[in-house]
Chains A and B, each alone.
Chain A
């Protein structure tokens, strides 16, 4: 224990970070994909650009921070799914543009002003569906048959329905007519949405080179867009919907797009192949994806972190103490240092280089987005936003050194803990001596007692079976089980009988319940009633009420019998020990 804990303390105590800013009520609700750092004004000072998700329904905003203050706010029309900053052209001044992906659109902002809106190309519409709607336009089809036809298309056709038809199928009968009248004039379209966005250098590897946009869509496609004309340069198709994306290389030379998909696989796309080149099959869903050099680090829903090569070969696995919320790359080019930041749901951010844990940052809340880079004029800045809408800014100390250490533990700690096994007493030893000496006699006595006991048990058992005393029936045709609960303080009690049919598949019917009690002490409204058909496996609670008539503080047993129609012997019996009535009866 000592070695492990001191090491953990070491990781945390010598803090390598300066707390630059913490605003717990910054009202920023966002994810890693919607955070970027960029020198938006070309003044050499990097700003923080955040696509704020607001409450998810309203208050979606594009926010820009400088230092600790908010610089500007632009309202967004829809939820942002991704945000990147990129250089569009070679003109001076070289100020980057901001692209915000939301729904099927990419909004491009220059100098924080709306500049261009790109719309994804519409998808092919099912001709049958098209037909149906044109019929509806001419009122040649009534809503009911339209619904039926659309349903058959939905179930069979290869090309899925448009959003409008799907919405139509969800409606109630009375709403259908108005819906058709409202929408029948417009042509139907099938639109997909963007799930992730990233950038790819066009033809130069420089820091300030022109970049293309790379987007992944719900229709399982990946597009590469031209930065100036916003035309589609390349289109690639994946077997599943992309969720996380990482891009490296140059479009004109050679590039790799690493895409984590919703089916739990990671696909690697390369130039000149419309299909993925490699595939990594994960054992659980990916939560974060970061590329370091030529390796890919994936955080999984199973509280694990995996390292893979570019070609999909697994290198290592680390087990994390809590589920991953998000991941980010920590890149310090001036020191040649690269590591992965992993935010966990136990309010910690772990820093990993390969499989080694370098440092732990404790945060006051669960971190949902993480971004490391140059902010203002400071190179090593870590920006995090939290689940509660807080903003944390930390600066890496210039003196901070991350010494790498193999933290793979030695033998498990439990090995060195001594078990508290009680000592055997002298008495015990004496008794074992006796046992050794008189083994034969003891064995005989035990065997004789055992046969007597077996006889006694068998007798009692047969008696119990014959009079069906047990609360579960022994017969194979009606395997029933009953237990009773009494509630109340008296003089009125509520009796709940829980009856269950324990057969595998056969229901039991034609049963009745009868009570036997001292009529001087108790009264029941119905002492005999039938019970419904019992479906196997379900518990049937049956309530009745008992009135206690005596105020002497005495109690008795009430017997419950479950009877089968036409048979006088009960199937099973339960004895209810009635509690003493603690209230006095009203006369």
Chain B
């Protein structure tokens, strides 16, 4: 006769093997057999353990690292009451991307995102954010995944997680929060932590989580750093940044932990104090020299403040510690590409390929690098592979757009025309493709079409200066000086240092003054 394994041990084993659903199922069964509430002494411990394990399993299923998730919602951006000074001093704010002091690349060399930042080599939540100038811009639909669309704080993800638990359990949630005696659980350190994580991550009920954390930290006589960090997390979620800062600071006094530094830096970034965040990271590095996450944090802040040279320095430091850090490799690579050293960028992207990153974007980048580094035999085959690996229409549009560039480079304009049109077929909002197509149309002498495309490009991507500038030239040639002036002014707004725009403005002013 087979001896059945102890169900709790089996569940624990499943948990360790990250088979959370099965673990939870077994726990449910165990709890059904001996309900947690009604048992007396002997089996109480047992069912407590089962209960705790189940909460952990359920939490792990939906767990997201809080450190990395940072999406600023529309409400936070547009109705920010922390912002006092509207005009910041250069180099002290993340909000004005134009205020670079590190000699960042111009938009002529490196394209910018909707919020006016140079595009980065690695898409992560914070690279998509950035403050939209107007409410209109804020609620416009995203172009692709790489856009500057802000999300509301009750964004899709949080809502979904909160409701998912209800769907999976036919007889309601596992723990009924409203009937929970938080004070009782706060007394039991062994249970309270798992319960907190369950409430915070699985139920997404920050208010109850905060209550529990407050009671627990009181029980621990305000000496437990872990609870303080959790309190800080709750405050941060609720948008009480100053309170969060206080909790994290106090937690750091008890115990130096890398995570706490990261959370605190996140608070400072949200408060738009990048310099304080940088100092904090450096302070953290004194305690944890060479810590990769801290170094990456510094590099990201430098990148967001448009200081590419120092960002690259720190990414290089990251690579010294961890030579498989994808973000660092990708960022250094793209920086080399946009500083006219595509042969070095090629090396970095090849390294990514060796590491097993195998996707459309990478081949896309490789193809471009090969083309600009004059390795022509590899260019088109890379793009071919990129096309074979596409997973979405946007990616396909980007590949065709780049192929269009290659076609322009080799002087095959009909092919370029086809490529740009294909880019638009796959992604109807590809402003760059519209712009380039307009130039090709203009060469064919179809002025009306060209003008319509330029206007579309300008309305799709007001942050790009090219469509405005091209429109200024086109209308100038047609003789519509007033429109030309208006377009040139917009181009100047998007890229104040652009010499050609300045020149066209100058000649226009002369035209206006002349008799």
User: Which residues from chain A sit less than 8 Å from chain B, CB to CB?
Assistant: 264, 282-285, 300-303, 422, 425, 427-428, 431-432, 434-435, 438, 441-443, 445-446, 449-450, 452-454, 456-458, 460-461, 464, 469-472, 479, 481, 483-489, 493, 498, 500, 502-504, 536-537, 539, 551-553, 574-582, 584
* CB of B373 closer than 8 Å to a CB of A: yes
Closest 4 CB pairs of A and B: A449-B380, A553-B156, A486-B141, A445-B377
18 example contacts (A-B, Cβ-Cβ < 8 A) are as follows A285-B513, A302-B514, A422-B341, A431-B374, A434-B375, A441-B377, A443-B376, A445-B381, A450-B410, A453-B403, A454-B412, A461-B422, A464-B422, A483-B460, A493-B141, A539-B455, A576-B428, A584-B159
Closest chain B residue to A469, Cβ basis: B425
Residues of B within 8 A of A469 (CB): 425
Q: Which residues of B contact A500 (CB under 8 A)?
A: 452, 455-456
In whole angstroms, what is the CA distance A537 to B460 when docked?
A: 18
**Nearest CB of chain A from residue B57's CB, rounded to whole Å:** 23
Other 10 A-B pairs with CB < 8 A, given A457-B400, A457-B415, A483-B456: A425-B344, A434-B375, A445-B376, A456-B384, A471-B428, A486-B140, A500-B452, A500-B455, A502-B449, A539-B455
**B339 lies within 8 A of chain A by Cβ:** yes
Shortest C-beta distance, A342 to chain B (Å), equals 16
Complex Cα–Cα for A487 and B138 (A): 9
- Cβ–Cβ contact B344 & A489, under 8 A: no
What separation, in Å, do the CA atoms of A502 and B379 have in the docked complex?
Answer: 36
A98 to chain B, nearest CB (A): 35
Q: A483-B460, A574-B428, A577-B141 are in contact. Are A284 and B514 (CB under 8 A)?
A: yes
A553 touches B448 (CB 8 A): no
B85 close to chain A: CB less than 8 A: no
Any A CB within 8 A of the CB of B142: yes
Binds A, one of B12-20, B124-132, B146-154: B146-154
Check if B142 sits within 8 Å of A582, measured CB to CB: no
- Residue-wise, chain B 448-460 has the 8 Å CB interface mask toward A (1 for contact) of 1101110110011
Indicate if B155 sits at the interface (CB-CB under 8 A).
yes
Q: Is the CB of B422 within 8 A of A302?
A: no
Closest B residue to A420 by beta carbon equals B103
B499 to chain A, nearest CB (A): 11
Cβ of B448 and Cβ of A551 under 8 Å apart? Answer: no
CB neighbours (8 Å) of A264 from chain B are 515
Nearest opposing residue in chain A for B417, CB measure: A461
B136: chain A residues at CB < 8 Å are 487
Hey, which chain A residues are within 8 Å of B340, CB to CB?
422
Q: How far is the CB of B37 from chain A (nearest CB, A)?
A: 33
Residue in chain A with minimal CB distance to B437? A472
**A426's closest neighbor in chain B, by CB?**
B343
| B213 located at the interface, meaning its Cβ lies under 8 Å from any Cβ of chain A in the complex | no
Complex CA–CA separation, A453 to B343 (angstroms): 23
Answer whether A582 and B379 are a contact pair too, CB < 8 Å, given A303-B513, A454-B415, A471-B424.
Answer: no
How many residues of chain B have a CB within 8 Å of chain A?
Answer: 61
Pairwise interchain contact B418-A489, C-beta atoms closer than 8 A: no
How far apart sit A80 and B309, CA to CA, in the bound complex (Å)? 63
- In the complex, per-residue mask of B324-367: 1 if CB is within 8 Å of any chain A CB, else 0: 00000000000000011101100100000000000000000000
The 8 Å CB contact of B418, one of A302, A434, A458, A539, is A458
Using Cβ atoms and an 8 Å threshold, which residues of chain B touch A438?
377
Q: Is B343 within 8 A of A431, CB to CB? A: yes
Query: Is there contact, CB below 8 Å, between B515 and A283?
Result: yes
CB neighbours of A487 from chain B (8 A): 136, 139-141
When A284-B515, A453-B403 are in contact, do A553 and B160 touch as well, CB less than 8 Å?
yes
Cβ contact of B419, chosen from A427, A443, A457, cutoff 8 A: A457
A489 contacts B152, CB within 8 Å? Answer: yes
Contact B152 A582 (CB under 8 A): yes
> Quick one: which of B341, B410, B412, B415 contacts A425, CB cutoff 8 A?
B341
Point out which of B144, B151, B374, B421 has the most chain A C-beta atoms below 10 A from its C-beta.
B421
Q: Given the complex, which residues of A lie within 8 Å of B455, measured CB to CB?
A: 500, 539
Q: Is B74 an interface residue (CB 8 A)?
A: yes
Query: At the interface, yes or no: B51 with Cβ under 8 Å from chain A?
Result: no
How near does chain B come to A537, taking the closest CB pair, in angstroms?
6
User: Min CB distance, B509 to chain A, in Å?
Assistant: 8
B452 touches A502 (CB 8 A): yes
CA distance A434 to B375 in the complex (A): 9
Docked pose: A442 CA to B376 CA in angstroms: 6
B72 within 8 A of A: no
Q: Which of B149, B160, B400, B451 is close to A552, meaning CB atoms less than 8 Å apart?
A: B160
Distance of A503 Cα from B452 Cα, bound (Å) = 10
Chain A hits for B149, CB < 8 A: 579
Cα separation A441 to B418 with both chains bound (whole Å): 28
Q: Give the Cβ gap from A70 to chain B, nearest Cβ, in Å.
A: 38
Is B89 positioned at the interface, with any CB of A under 8 Å from its CB?
no
Cβ–Cβ < 8 Å partners of A537 in chain B: 448, 451-452
Q: Is B221 an interface residue (CB 8 A)?
A: no
Docked pose: A541 CA to B510 CA in angstroms = 36
| A458 CB to nearest chain B CB (Å) | 7
Q: How far is the CA of A300 from the CA of B419 in the complex (A)?
A: 51
Whether B339 pairs with A488 at a CB distance below 8 angstroms is: no
How far, in angstroms, from A62 to B136 measured CA to CA in the complex? Answer: 53
Contacts of A479 in B (CB 8 A): 449
In angstroms, Cα B412 to Cα A503, docked, is 26
In the complex, what distance in Å separates the CA atom of A471 from the CA atom of B373? 34
The verdict on B43 contacting chain A, using a C-beta distance below 8 Å, is no
Please measure, in the bound complex, the distance between the C-alpha atom of A445 and the C-alpha atom of B343, giving whole angstroms: 19
Q: Which residues of A contact B341 (CB under 8 A)?
A: 422, 425, 428
Please measure, in the bound complex, the distance between the C-alpha atom of A497 and the C-alpha atom of B339, giving whole angstroms: 39
In the assembled complex, the Cα of A303 lies from the Cα of B24 at a distance in Å of: 81
Contacts of A461 in B (CB 8 A): 418, 421-422
Q: Answer yes or no: B429 CB below 8 A from chain A CBs.
A: yes
Contact between B422 and A536 (Cβ–Cβ < 8 Å)? no
Contact status B424-A579, CB under 8 Å: no
Closest A-chain residue to B449, C-beta based? Answer: A502
| Cα–Cα distance between A450 and B412 once the two chains are bound (Å) | 10
Please name all residues of chain A whose beta carbon is closer than 8 Å to the beta carbon of B142 when the two chains form the complex: 577, 579
Min CB distance, A153 to chain B, in Å? 31
Asked if A435 contacts B374 (CB within 8 A), the reply is: yes
The answer to whether B141 and A470 have CB atoms under 8 Å apart is no
* Contact, CB under 8 Å: B375 / A431: yes
Interface residue B256 (Cβ < 8 Å from any Cβ of A): no
**In the complex the two chains form, what is the Cα distance from A425 to B340 in whole Å?**
11
Residues on the A chain within 8 Å of B424, using CB: 470-472
For A484, list chain B residues within 8 Å (CB). 428
**How far in angstroms is the closest Cβ of chain B from A495?**
9
Decide: A553 and B347 in contact? CB cutoff 8 A: no
Check: B497 CB closer than 8 A to any chain A CB: no
Let me know if B218 is at the binding interface, CB within 8 A.
no
* Interfacial chain A residues near B375, Cβ < 8 Å: 431, 434-435, 442
B515 near A464 (CB under 8 angstroms)?
no
Interface digits, B56-78 against A, CB 8 Å rule (1 contact, 0 not)? 00000000000000000010000
Tell which of A449, A470, A582 touches B384, judged by Cβ atoms closer than 8 Å: A449
Distance, CA A302 to CA B514, complexed state (A): 7
- Whether the pair A453, B380 counts as a contact (CB closer than 8 A) is yes
* B25 CB-CB contact with A under 8 Å: no
Give per-residue flags for B148-181: 1 if the beta carbon is below 8 A from chain A beta carbons, else 0: 0101101111011001000000000000000000
CB distance from A453 to the nearest CB of B (A): 5
Q: Roughly how many angstroms separate A524 CA and B475 CA in the complex, as a whole number?
A: 39
The CA of A146 and the CA of B376, in the complex, are separated in Å by 83
Name the distance in Å between B513's Cβ and chain A's nearest Cβ: 4
Query: When chains A and B are docked, how far (Å) is the Cα of A464 from the Cα of B424?
Result: 10
Q: How far is the CA of A489 from the CA of B73 in the complex (A)?
A: 11
Q: Are the C-beta atoms of A580 and B343 separated by less than 8 Å?
A: no
